Structure 1
């Protein structure tokens, strides 16, 4: 019996639906689940979870904070990279700020840090982190293009522009990321003989020439790049050996042991380049801190 064309098309579509449902909705998920139960793969399929004393304390693949009840970093633990999403897997992502993002949106002085319209540029975020990490670890947090107070060292220069776009004889200079009423004085007293002013909330400096000031910070700061920049996911569980080395003395002091003993644990928890040539050596922060707790329990009080 020959069915009408429209019915044959509907039957063909129904058969395709049933076949694809069985293959992709049943067989494929079961195959993937079965593969994930195989020895050697089960740990990874379950999320690479890390346990301590029978309790799950985190994942090898997702970073986490090591802070106290007040949110301050704990001195007895190694700290990871910054996270734009607070190490929340549901908020994974980057800040999407680029290297040319160097001018802050200043807060209303009446609202201060609670001003929802205010925002820090990527440069100021990096500068503020470098200063805080330097103080926390007892080293200099100085960084090129950063003010001593931890803001981006950026000027708006006003005056007649030459043919090459420069302003050889400024008439006014403003420190864009230092707000009047927040800091006492600009990071630079004068620029090309003109007194530098603090920025005022609500003023428009768009017509000025934006001039980043490098300053006298070393080309290779004591605080390494991964300590002040978040990863693309914001969940990176690793830090560089350089950042681990920066924290070693502080952790050793808090643990009541020697930097050499802590450095040994850092080396034991450092992985090399993938396949010997891809990426850079890295230290898993969670595994390192667990190793510290086992070898040198933190002193109380």
Structure 2
């Protein structure tokens, strides 16, 4: 019996649906699951979880914060690098800031809202100011200088708007007015430099347009190689990086040792034990897994209550 064409088409579609459902909805997932149970792969397939005292403390491949309820660093733990994933290390919102090296001018907050104890949702820090603020905070926490090129002592981007006649090379050799773009009047008392080419430097005023000025970053006298490493002040592309550099780990050793009542040498040995070398001996850089290191600390040298 020959069915009409439209019935044959529907039957063919139904057969294709059933076959693809079995192959892709049953056979393929089971095959992938079976492969994931192979020794050497099972731990990764299960999320590379790390346990402490019988409880899952996190994943070795997903970073996390080690802060208190107010967001302040817990001094007995090594700190991870910054994260722009959600509110920080949110696996459901993995992301970078998408800010580039030319993002150096802040969108200043309304001082009236600040005076009222409110947050200005329209305000935004530039990438430069984020780096400067983080560097200052890390420096204060670790007891070292947080100074960085192109940063003010107060922890914002050292950037001026220079007004005056521009020459053919784009410079302003004889400024008529100079404004510190990232330092707001009413928020800071004085600009990071008093004068620029003999012209007094003004603090920026909320709502004033400085677009006609020449934007000039000021390098300052901070060392070319800051005491605070780059990974301590910049987030990773995913926002979930579980590692820090050996240099950033070394910076934190004394603080952690003091908080736990042990010697820096004891902490350094655990750092070395949790430092991974270059992949295959030549790819990437040595790195320290922060979660594994902190768990090793809790196991061997529990923090004092």
Which band: TM-score by shorter chain?
A: over 0.9
| Mapped partners of 1:91, 1:172: distance in 2 | 43
Q: Does 1:89 align with 2:94?
A: no
| Mapped partners of 1:187, 1:228: distance in 2 | 21
Residue 69 of structure 2 corresponds to 69
Q: What's the offset of the Cα at 1:42?
A: 1.9
| Mapped partners of 1:171, 1:60: distance in 2 | 56
Residue 271 of structure 1 corresponds to 276
Residue 108 of structure 1 corresponds to 110
Residue 9 of structure 1 corresponds to 9
Q: Does 1:49 align with 2:49?
A: yes
Residue correspondences, number: 300
Structure 1: which 5+ runs fail to align?
A: none
Residue 160 of structure 1 corresponds to 165
Q: What's the offset of the Cα at 1:5?
A: 3.4
Q: What's the offset of the Cα at 1:43?
A: 1.6
Q: What's the offset of the Cα at 1:81?
A: 0.6
| Mapped partners of 2:52, 2:120: distance in 1 | 42
Runs of 4+ displaced beyond 6 Å: none
Deviations 1:123-172 (A, max 9, x none): 00000000000000000000010000000000000001101111110000
| Mapped partners of 1:244, 1:95: distance in 2 | 24
Q: What's the offset of the Cα at 1:4?
A: 3.5
Q: Does 1:130 align with 2:135?
A: yes
Q: What's the offset of the Cα at 1:87?
A: 1.3
Q: Does 1:172 align with 2:177?
A: yes
Structure 2: which 5+ runs fail to align?
A: none
Structural RMSD (CA): 1.2
Matches within 5 A, 1:132-151: 132-151=137-156
**What SS is found at the alignment partner of 1:110?**
helix
**What SS is found at the alignment partner of 1:219?**
coil
| Mapped partners of 1:39, 1:275: distance in 2 | 21
Deviations 1:23-79 (A, max 9, x none): 111111111122222332222111111111111111101111111233210111100
TM-score, length-scaled by structure 1 = 0.97
**What SS is found at the alignment partner of 1:111?**
helix
Q: What's the offset of the Cα at 1:88?
A: 1.3
